Amino acid sequence: MRRLVPLLIAATVLAGCDMDYGGEPEPRPAPPPAITRTELDQHLLALQRIANRNGGTRAAGTPGYDASADYVAARLRDAGWRVRRQAVPFTHFTLRSASVSVNGRALRRERDFQVLTYSGSGRAAGTLRGIEGGCSPSDFDGLGASDIPLVPRGGCLTHDKARNAQRAGARALVVFERVTSPRGVSSATLVIPDIRIPVVGVSERALDDSAASVRLSVDADSRRERTQNVIAETPGGAGDRIVMAGGHLDSVAGGPGINDNGSGVATLIELAEAIGPKPPGARVRLGFWAAEELALVGSRRYVSSLTGDERERIRAYLNFDMVGSPNPVPELYGDADAGLAKVLRDAAGRTRLGEAQVGGASDHAAFEQRGIPVNGLYTGAAERAPGGRPRDPCYHLACDTERDVNLGILLRMARITASAVETLSARYAK
């Protein structure tokens, strides 16, 4: 899941029996028997093996992503669904090398700093100069030739701060990261590939003081390429209405992305196997989206390719992005369609679902912008869980592996998903 906007989480009250996500979920109405912990884990392990064989990543534009798409397509065909690929143009970012030192002390990539996707290349050395905000061009007034601007994260897109720094003549930009995970600095993106100067995120623990000297080097490249969405649909179904569900298939470049978003991928595969090729009512369509981590590219491509009549046929879209967090707080999208929220709550039974204000942070955004009712499930990224721990301390890091996923909560979310989609299919049978 991308952090396009801060995720503002509403207060969530969980019954004590719901907090034990290590075991089987308590009974609820008609759980789809085809969905098991073992099968979910098999999909996660398959994606982990793909990443292991391909440099530890399944990012769009890499062999790991292509192998992930092949795996998903094969599983959906085995389940009796019709599968197609959709070409998705995008800009691929390659980081060849990077280094950062503060006061002569070399920092470790991922642990202490990250290069933002779509950063420019170059070398720079100078003194860090703290900038208040960075969202306005005037924030960089008076920048000296030896100054390297240091800005906090947040308040506006980091791309806007980088553009302002570049226009002010800065030779690089350092983004101050208040790291929420003990594991390191999460991957992030500038969204638009038009920044020429190096842009790095550095953790607060690596910065001694605002007057520190800094030396950095980035060798990177951005180029136009093509990747692919995987779209699957039941051959059976009544009427011409469509119920859709989806989640992104890619990881960040810096990790295998097994919770973010192998958990959603495993959920959707199990949904397909549970429903089979003949849903109870309307046809069901699934989308496995490319390049979500690079600004929701695949889902936007898909929705923009639909005609008005095709969009009208889609009666609902449910999104599943990070549904197996190790310290989970199960939530639905509180700022999305209320009718779909009720369907998810009814499917959840005794599992209490809080409300996440997700804004445009995942692939539902493209559907919502075109007037399609949306909602989804979510268990957390860098936000704090009860007790103060990050919900996923490996969010956007190399440690987001199969071991990072809480199979108990993933099983519960997958069963809720299948029940909700079956309900919607039956509702839109005509």
Q: Out of 270, 292, 293, 368, pick the active-site residue.
A: 292
Q: Which of 384, 9, 10, 406 is nearest to 180 (CA)?
A: 384
229 by DSSP, 3-state: which? strand
Query: How far from the centroid of its chain's Cα atoms is residue 215's Cα?
Result: 31
Would residue 310 show up in a list of annotated catalytic residues for this protein? Answer: no
Closest by alpha carbon to 414, among 273, 311, 312, 303? 273
The CA distances from residue 123 to 36, 100, 211, 237, in Å, are 51, 10, 19, 58
* Pair 272, 81: CB distance under 8 Å: yes
For residue 390 the two structure tokens come to 């990050």
d(CA 151, CA 162): 9
Q: What SS3 class is residue 311?
A: helix
Contact 283, 305 (CB under 8 A): no
Which one-letter amino acid corresponds to residue 248?
Answer: H
In degrees and rounded to multiples of 5, residue 98 shows phi and psi of: -160, 150
Helices (H) and strands (E) in the chain, counts: 9, 15
Amino acid, single-letter form, for residue 239: G
Stated length of the chain: 430
Looking at beta carbons, which pairs linking 385-391 to residues 24 or more positions away fall under 8 Å?
Answer: 385/327, 385/328, 385/329, 386/14, 386/329, 387/327, 389/327, 390/180, 390/181, 390/327, 391/325, 391/326, 391/327, 391/328, 391/329
Q: Is 429 helix (H, G, I), strand (E, B) or coil?
A: coil
SS3 content of the chain, % helix, strand, coil (to 5): 30, 25, 45
Active site residues: 292
